Structure 1
Amino acid sequence: MVWVRSEYAGELAVVSTWFAALIPWNVLYGDAFGGSVLLVRFPLLEIQYAFGVPFTEATSVRDPVSAYRLQAGQPVADAYAAWLVGAALLAVALAVSAYYYREEERAESWPVDPVSVLGGLLVACGVVFAAASALLVGGVLGVDLGGGGLDGISIPVGVAFYLAFGAVLLRAEQVT
């Protein structure tokens, strides 16, 4: 079963990759230091809103490298390291998709199908961000992963989208 017509596979690959960069891979709302924190983590940045936390800024924005440095030595450092890997994978996917958009004929002459490359990269992002989400909350299904993250509600929003986009692109048939 093919989910996308072959003549639209390239366009879908480019648009879904760009859209993936705009979807947060994790949204977490939790209690911290006598207040509440809302963390919205996009692949290439994190936005933090703090409510009632006395010694922190109300709003802050960090890139994955800065966020990782801030968490170095903390129990959630492994989750932030996984985020770095996911961000790097998505950056590669964005570069490939930009090249594919600008140089479609050259990209389609590659020995590998660029639609499949982007699909594989998006699936890899989904897997890595799923692992990072699990590490952030300290475990899944009662299994302690050693994350030691914030207590609260964590929703891996983008993970499902990355996996779905990647699966659709990997199933697309290209016209040769």
Structure 2
Amino acid sequence: MVWVRSEYAGALSVISAWLCALIPWNVTYSSGVAGGSLLFVRFPFFQVRYAWGIDIAQRVAISNPVSALSLQASQSIAVAYQAWVVGAAVLAIAVLFSFVYYAREAEVEAGPLDPVRLMGGLLGLTGVILSAATYLLVTRGFPGIPLPLGVLVCFVLSGVLLTVERTE
């Protein structure tokens, strides 16, 4: 079964990287935390925390993976945040590569590696690392139920890119 025609594979790989960068990889809702609720929406390069029913100064807080990791440094879930930082770094490489591929398609296509498969591999690796981060959040005691939305998107797009039939 062909999911995408060969001539559109390059464009799909570029758009796939951008899409994975824009979709939250993890959404977690936690209730009963200090008498209130928290919603964490974790995008690859930042997270948004919404709090209600809790007496804290900031109801909405935005942080990047590195600053979020520093806040969790002494907690058991710090390793999950470390995995998130690594996953964000791999996705950043994919996004940077997508800009190069978009700007210089002919040169990238002429290179020694198939750029579509390379992008598929980078997105698959991102999915694996962010899956590990989700698993670590759950097993290290982070309250709430995580929904790994972006992780699933990474895996689906990776699978499509890795299995596309390329014609010369």
Q: TM-score, normalised by structure 2?
A: 0.96
Is 1:61 the counterpart of 2:54? The answer is: no
Is 1:153 the counterpart of 2:145? The answer is: yes
Which position in structure 1 is the counterpart of 2:6? 6
Give 1:35 deviation, angstroms.
Answer: 1.0
Which runs of 5 or more structure 1 residues have no equivalent in the other structure? 139-146
Mapped to 2, the partners of 1:56 and 1:129 lie a distance apart of 30
The 5 Å alignment of 1:160-175 reads: 160-175=152-167
Which position in structure 2 is the counterpart of 1:143? none
Which runs of 5 or more structure 2 residues have no equivalent in the other structure? none
Letter in 2 for 1:8: Y
The 5 Å alignment of 1:107-146 reads: 107-138=108-139
Secondary structure at the residue paired with 1:164? helix
Secondary structure at the residue paired with 1:97? helix
Give 1:56 deviation, angstroms.
Answer: 4.2
* Consecutive aligned runs of 4 or more in structure 1 exceeding 6 Å deviation: none
Secondary structure at the residue paired with 1:137? helix
Mapped to 2, the partners of 1:126 and 1:100 lie a distance apart of 21
Mapped to 1, the partners of 2:149 and 2:135 lie a distance apart of 13
The 5 Å alignment of 1:98-113 reads: 98-113=99-114
Is 1:24 the counterpart of 2:28? The answer is: no
* Identical residues among aligned pairs (%): 50
| Structure 1 contact 64–84 (Cα < 8 Å) conserved | yes
Q: TM-score, normalised by structure 1?
A: 0.92
Mapped to 2, the partners of 1:8 and 1:23 lie a distance apart of 22
Mapped to 2, the partners of 1:135 and 1:56 lie a distance apart of 28
Q: CA RMSD for the aligned pairs?
A: 1.0
CA deviation profile, 1:2-34 (whole Å, cap 9, x unmatched): 321100000000011101111101000003222
